Structure 1
Amino acid sequence: MSMPNLRVRLFGIACLVMAIALPFCVSTYYTQFLAKALIMGMLAMSLNLVVGHGGLVSLCHAAFFGLAGYVLALLSPRYDAASLLTTLPIAILCSGTAALLIGALVLRTRGVYFIMVTLAFGEMLFFFFHDTKFAGGSDGISVNIRPEIAIAGRQLLDLDKPMTFYFVVLGFLVGVIALLTMVVRSPFGRALAAARDNERRARSLGFPIFRLRLTAFTLSGALAGVAGYLAAAQFGFVAPQMLGWHQSATILVMVLIGGLRSVTGPLVGALVLIGMEEVLKAHLDNWKLVEGLIIIGIVILLPNGVRQIWSMVFGASPQRAAEIKPAAAEARHA
């Protein structure tokens, strides 16, 4: 194993140890805040499978996120806790099916047309929940009791406890990272990247471009459903705003801040953006203006995201260096 790869693995292990230890060192507020940040990081990583590894900018990703939250709210009994082991697979299935159906239509377009069509589908789902009485309309719907993890009527984990919920979220996050890493490094992931870099050449080599992208889009939507389910469980409330285009745009900013060509880059971007907002809100009245200027500065100075700092300090592995050069070229020509 090369030295850069060893450093990356050791750093990843150190981050996991810190994530496990943090809830024991901070207050309940920050435990809940960290859980929220990890959920949004999970959502950003799911989007990056389409944007960074597939080369397709989607603006309907929040629709899959919010849809899973509504599934939990609608399936939850009024005076009892829903079973996570039952409702989570249904929420993932609904989000994945929606992504499959939408992807089958939008993936027939390219470039700015793809962006606009995904935006249109996202807004259609937003207004479906906003302008109808279904699921509470514009007022949203509550999840009165968090789902529970139980087998044969016996509760295994109490998700009402902030620390327990945090570790459940962390467990799902580690699973998503492992799954995406496996997908990106598989022949499927390499074929998807080839289609991103040169679609014409990949097509001439016989790659099924449409099927590759549709599979990635569906998997991405399903993983967004995991994040949406956990977000609804944490906040106890689901509203149409979860499906809006502004939510999709925020997720895209997280991806750009963290880095497009990395599995965990969007997670870093989510932590940076949410942490920055928390600090700026506490100290400034016009914090949105300052936040926008900081984001512009990051995009200009670090075109490969904040993870580029690691490469600048410790040097990139040969594989990572090969990824950085095309990304930097794209940023210069954008």
Structure 2
Amino acid sequence: MESRALRYFVAVAEELNFTRAARRLGIAAPALSRAVAGLETDLGVRLFARTTRSVRLTEVGALLLADARAALVALDAATLRARRAAGVTDGRLVLAVKADVEAGLLEDVLAAYATEPAAVPVEVVFTGWREQPRLLRAGEADVAIVVEPFDTDGLDVEPLLREPQLLALPAGHPLAGSPRLRLADVEAGHRPAVPGAHVYVRHGEQRPPFGDMVQMLRQIELGRMVALLPASVAARNARPQLTWRPVEDAPEAAFAVAWPQHSHSLAVAAFVRIATAVAADRPADACTLRATGATDSGQVRVVP
């Protein structure tokens, strides 16, 4: 079975009209009809029930449609990965980052990368939580700044820097005024939303929905959850309704740059080199931030 036949089949299945499908594919309707009939002959099944007035999928055709879509997505992803691994792109480098979760490195790395001889224009794609590895494996991104741990299957990784994590609390939370906090204090009234997560909800409650940092912080302000977040996130998100507190035994946030294994792109290699150099040049106190909590004005004071 050829991929072209599958693409023709999917177009007809989605349009349920040979004329519209042919127009979408840029071919003649009779040629499309013959191609679909040939696919049915090769498979030995009827995919469409056709009359002079209508086209509809058979039960077998509906089953094939789901698999055909998945197969074409996988094929397209494999093509993208192969081209990116060989450095054959459309003249740009796609960088995947979680908005506001890049240790404050993004602007400096982009500025330094732009001076590199091998640099190409960078498209920054802001992602949801833990989406960067999937985009790299699918060939939809060339390189990513990530927070460990994450799924490294099929990826190469270079560490960048580490920084403390702070507990984000609603301003009136009972823990907001504690002089010293440990994870046991947090877990006395909360549980991880999922095993290993740094988002905590009250016992017996479920994690509220959120899709980005703004939504996440709003849920914390409303008292729906608390969360351990990198200190650089706290420094950039001082809000009157939030209190940021250090937790003595909280794990550090470890940032890294990741890219697909076997990538031969000079642009990716230059980006990785620049990102590690910028992180290494970061002053030591910038990598060891700690917050003293919210002031009366609601601002977070961050000191070395």
So what's the TM-score if we normalise by structure 1? 0.21
So what's the TM-score if we normalise by structure 2? 0.23
Q: Which has the higher helix share?
A: 1
Higher RCO (C-alpha under 8 Å, 6+ residues apart): 1
Name the larger-Rg structure: 2
